[in-house]
Each structure stands twice: as C-alpha cells, then as structure tokens.
Chains A and B, each alone.
Chain A
Amino acid sequence: MRRAAKIYFPFINAGMQEVATYRVNWIFYILGNVMSCFVSYFIWKAVYSSGGGENLEGFTLPDMIVYIFLMFLTSTIIGSDASYVVGEEVRDGSIVMRLIKPVSYNGTFLFQELGNKLLTEIMLLVPLVVGVEAVRAALMGGIQFNPLSFLIYLVSCVLAYLINFFFNICFGFLAFVVKYLWGANLMKACVVGFLSGTIIPLAFLPKPLEAVFLLLPFASLNYTPVMIYIGRYSGLTLLYYLGLQLFWALAFWGLSKFLWRVSVKHLTVQGG
C-alpha cells in the first residue's frame, strides 16, 4: 500500500501541475460550465412561467433552480476526461509510453486525474457550495444547509466519480476498435447527460422508465448525489442508492480490467 502510494503520488502531483500550467484553459472550462448552467436556468424559468403549473412532478421552480445548480456542482466534482485521454493516446500511439513502464495502466490515469481534480476541488468547492446555498436560502427563505447530507453527498460523489472514471476508461478502450473516438464521445456525452438526469430530473419521466433509469449506472453519476444533497433520499432508500453506487463502481472497475486485458492484445500502434 505504501509502495503504491509512493509510485502513484507523482502522478497526482503531475495532474496538479497540468492544471497549474494550463490555467487559462482551466478557467475557460469552468466558465463554459457556468454558462451552460445558466442556459438551463433560463430554459426552466421559461418552462415554469409558460404555465405548466406551480409544481412539476414535485419540483417547484425554486426546487428546479437548486437542482440545476447542484447538477452543475456535481458534474464539476465527478467529471472525468478519461475516455478522451485514452482515445487520444490510442489515436496518436503515445499509449506505448505507458506500456513500457512497470505500472498499472488504469492506475496512472486515475491518479493523474485525481491530482487534476484535487486542485480544482480545493479552489472551487467552497465558493460553489456557498453560492448554491446562497441561492437556496434566497429562494426557500432561510438557510437550508444540512452538514450531514453534505457529508454523505461528498461520499456519494466519490463513488460517482469512480463509476464515471472506470466507465470512461471502458468507453475509451473502444478506441482500440474504432481508432478515433471524437464522434463516439459526443454521442456518449449526450446519452449520459439524459440518462444521468443532468438535462431533466429523472422524476419527470414516466414512472416505469424512471424505475429502469434509476437502476442504470448513469443515475448513480449525478442524480443520486443531488438527491442526497437536497434530502430526498433518507434511511433505507439512502443506503440502497449508496449500495447501488458501490456496486456500479466495482462493476466498471472489473470491466475495465477485463477490457484492458482483451484490448491490449488487439493493440495496433498508430503512427510508427
């Protein structure tokens, strides 16, 4: 364990330095996310004011606004670029440089991204949470912050990140077959956005569909943490959804190991 920490710590460090080196890129990335968050805010405002009623499937406009901002916060915490990075490395062949080192392929990606995340989280988590809570307090009247829910939310986010990371790694291995993932990545972003409740709350869907979607791994990504944060899951329900998250994290971890073993045999290195 200590040895593993020693080996992978430099990767965390390198991930942090990457953020620091490409600061402007990072700022644009965050700004882009903030903007798309406001776009959904205005869309939902229009939907509610066009007279769909005060209450859509148990969501009032203030609920919806909080939901949108929490989705944004959660996406920032659990986002993973792994499929993009794996896809690029396969495309330009630089994956060979990872293969000639005595380290786990998935491990190097995970820790490099963790370093990246760590720096993002340190700088953004507090201001974002304060921002979300301020909006919440203004809309609902009075401070709604629940430290316990918040802690469980963080745990749930860690699980969600692991699911997201290993899912993305699995997806990235597709590049071994199709060679270039740009198109597939766009499609994935769209499908995952819908299935994970980022675009509309899963509660808005027809009940049978909602039940199915809640079982899928994508609900475990954004929807579960957000539901925990706003206190819609509690007691046994809460434990059930955390358990489901854990299950999916382990499943994708296993799948990524398996796919790695299969696909590395089919590796053809592009570009000499």
Chain B
Amino acid sequence: MIDVKNLRKEFKKTIKEPGLKGSFKSLFKPQTKRVVAVDDISFEVPKGEILGFIGPNGAGKSTVIKMLTGILTPTSGKCEINGKNPTENRKSYVREIGVVFGQRTQLWWDLPLRETYSVLKEIYEVPDDRFKSRMSFLNEVLELDDFITSPVRTLSLGQRMRADIAASLLHSPKVLFLDEPTIGLDVVVKENIRNAIEHINKQEKTTVILTTHDLADIEALSNRIVMIDKGRNVFDGTVSELKTKYGQIRELHFETEERNAAQALCYEKLFGGNIGGLTLEQEGKAVKARFDSSVVPVSEMLAYTLSRINVTDISVRDADIEEIIRRLYQQGVSE
C-alpha cells in the first residue's frame, strides 16, 4: 500500500552570523549550508493499518509527510502509494488521499463551514446521493451539526479540527494523513477525535498515517510505530515491541529517613561502569530511582537497596511508554 525506500531530503539553509554585522554580510553574501532533514528512511504500511509516526520536534516527521503527500519532492529515494508516485502526477494522486495538517486548515476561512463541503464535493466529483450519505456519516462520527452553518473563522479549535478531519474524509480516501491532529485540544475532544479515526479505520479499511506528540494517541490508535530522530529511522515495530526493546527501565519507589539517599546508597558501585539510564530523585522522604533492569536485575537492586539503608513502603514499577520515549528523545538514539 505505502512503500517508502531510502527516502532522503536535503534543504539549503542560509546561515546568518549574529548581530547587525552578520545581517549585512548575509544580505550581500549569503552563506548556505546543506541540511539533511530526512536521511535514508524506509518503511512499508499495509492496507488498513494505523501507523503512528513519532519523533521529537525537528526530527523530520512533517517533511516525510509532505513528501508522501506530494508537496515536497524527495532529493532521492522512492515513495509509492497505491503504486503511484506522489510528485509525478499530483492532481490524480491527491484524489486518493486525505490530509489534515493540525496547524493549518483547508476550510474556507470566510465561508460558512457547509460551503467548504460543497466546494470539496465539486472538486472531488462526489455524486449527490453519495455526498448526502457521507455527510450524515461524518456528522454522526464528528458531530458537526452544531456549527455547520457558522463561518469557519468563528469556530473553536476543537470544532475546526473536527471539521478539517471531516473535510479530508469527504471523498472516502484510501489513505489518510494526519499531521498532529490533536495538537492543542482538550482531553474530551482528543478522545472524540481518536474514536472517530478508529471508527473510520475499522469501517472503511482506511490506511492512516498519524504523527503526534501525544503518546496517548498512539496507544489508543496504532498497532505500529515508526520512530525517527534527526531524520533517521530509529524504531519500527509494535507498541509492545517498543516496550520490550527499550522498556527494561524500572522505577523503584520507597521512603526512607535517610537525608541523602544517593550518597548512602551509592548505586554506582552496584552498576559499575554501566549506569546508563540511572537516575535518583529525592523529595523529603520519598525517593524514586530509575534504572535499567537489563543491567542489574530487579531482585538484585532490591536486595542491594535494602541492605544499605532502612526503607519503608517499597515498590517497583514499569516505566510507561511515555517514559521510554522521553528517554529515547533525550539520549538521541543510535542503533
């Protein structure tokens, strides 16, 4: 369905030296630098899958999405969707896809929302009866009725996002690209939007590619994650695979009378030279130690801790996916 191979995108970037002098210099003799935004990314998405596309800010997610939607031309590499090359025949290609950029809108700013849908109906040549049933379906899933007659510029962000998603689905696209569809929304609206995406994916076997910073989106929706960082592919697999691969992180919580637990415990001894991921936070009595259980097993960690200081109320917890990803982002993963 979607086949991406060795995709690469370079930009030329003007570098300006700081200050007024630098501004003058760059006005007359701009210096440019090659920036590799996407470097050798490959993945495949079968029909009907929801793929979560994640990575820290500036990782190149949006650039990949823009290449997949035919907006940017790749510097090299191949991407093929339904056997079509997005940049080769833009007009016929974009008929088969729906796109939502969370930070922009495709709705007609000054017209009542309903007008946008009738414009799209003509653009995509949706027959009258199909349009009617489609609208009532989208109405039901995304609850557009309350504001369908209001001009778009008067809609709230949550309403606008629902309206935008409906607009991208009007022509029953085979692939739906959602670039941060839940950005800036409250919990209830996020939940609504997730439900709608899930519903449409189940009902119509729409392939969905979703980028987000909200990992709850990923956990609720996607069977699979592709994670990129600095333009490179760093992980491709299911959520549970991510947890087993990077999820050896455990948290040890306990309370102690010890003023300076870190000093008293001196975990460095236990971990030897391999203290990757080890952190210790103390707040009054409560101590939280995070460690990698593939380096030191949980039982050993417990025994060691209990032998060094007096503790009460001790427990061990799994790190959640958010924690894993935070760690990955901070370290800048390399394979």
Residues of A at the B interface (CB closer than 8 Å) are: 3, 6-7, 9-11, 13-14, 17-18, 21-22, 93-94, 96-97, 99-104, 264-265, 267-269, 271-272
Contact = CB atoms under 8 A, between A and B. Distances in A.
Interface string B98-127: 010101111010110001001100111100
A96 B67 CA distance: 11
B127 to A, nearest CB: 12
A101 B110 contact: no
B90 interface: yes
Nearest to A100: B99
Interface of B: 11, 62, 66, 69-73, 90-92, 94-95, 97, 99, 101, 103-106, 108, 110-111, 115, 118-119, 122-125, 151
A102 B99 contact: no
Contacts of B97: 100
A102 B71 contact: no
B110 A18 contact: yes
A267 B71 contact: yes
Contacts, number: 72
Given A21-B110, A102-B92, A269-B66, A96 B115 contact: no
Given A10-B118, A102-B92, A268 B108 contact: no
A110 B4 CA distance: 36
Given A96-B104, A97-B106, A103 B123 contact: yes
Contacts of A22: 110
A96 to B, nearest CB: 5
Give 7 nearest A-B pairs by CB, closest first. A10-B119, A100-B99, A102-B91, A21-B110, A97-B106, A102-B95, A265-B73
Nearest to B57: A272
A5 to B, nearest CB: 10
Given A14-B108, A102-B91, 13 more contacts: A7-B123, A9-B122, A14-B119, A17-B110, A21-B151, A96-B101, A97-B105, A99-B71, A99-B90, A101-B94, A102-B90, A102-B123, A272-B62
A45 to B, nearest CB: 42
B103 to A, nearest CB: 6
10 contacts: A11-B119, A18-B110, A94-B104, A99-B70, A99-B71, A101-B106, A102-B95, A104-B91, A267-B72, A269-B71
A99 B106 CA distance: 10
A102 B124 contact: yes
Contacts of B72: 267-269
Q: Is the interface of B mostly helix, strand, loop or mixed?
A: mixed
Contacts of B123: 7, 10, 101-103
Contacts of A264: 73
Contact of A6 (B95, B99, B103, B122): B122
Nearest to B151: A21
A96 B119 CA distance: 18
A263 B119 CA distance: 27
B286 to A, nearest CB: 39
A7 B111 CA distance: 16
Contacts of A10: 115, 118-119, 122-123
A9 B99 CA distance: 23
Contacts of B115: 10, 13-14
A97 B69 contact: no
A121 to B, nearest CB: 20
Nearest to B98: A100
Nearest to B153: A21
A268 B11 contact: yes
Given A101-B94, A102-B92, A96 B66 contact: yes
B91 A103 contact: yes
B29 to A, nearest CB: 16
Given A10-B119, A94-B104, A272-B62, A100 B110 contact: no
A21 to B, nearest CB: 5
A101 B97 CA distance: 9
Nearest to A103: B123
Contacts of B62: 269, 272
Contacts of A101: 94, 106, 123
Contacts of A272: 62, 103
Contact of A100 (B71, B92, B111, B119): B71
A19 B244 CA distance: 59
B67 to A, nearest CB: 11
Nearest to B11: A268
Contacts of A11: 119
Task: Pick from A13, A18, A99, A102 the residue with the most CB of B within 10 Å.
Answer: A102
Contacts of A100: 69-71, 94, 97, 99, 106
Contacts of A102: 90-92, 94-95, 123-124
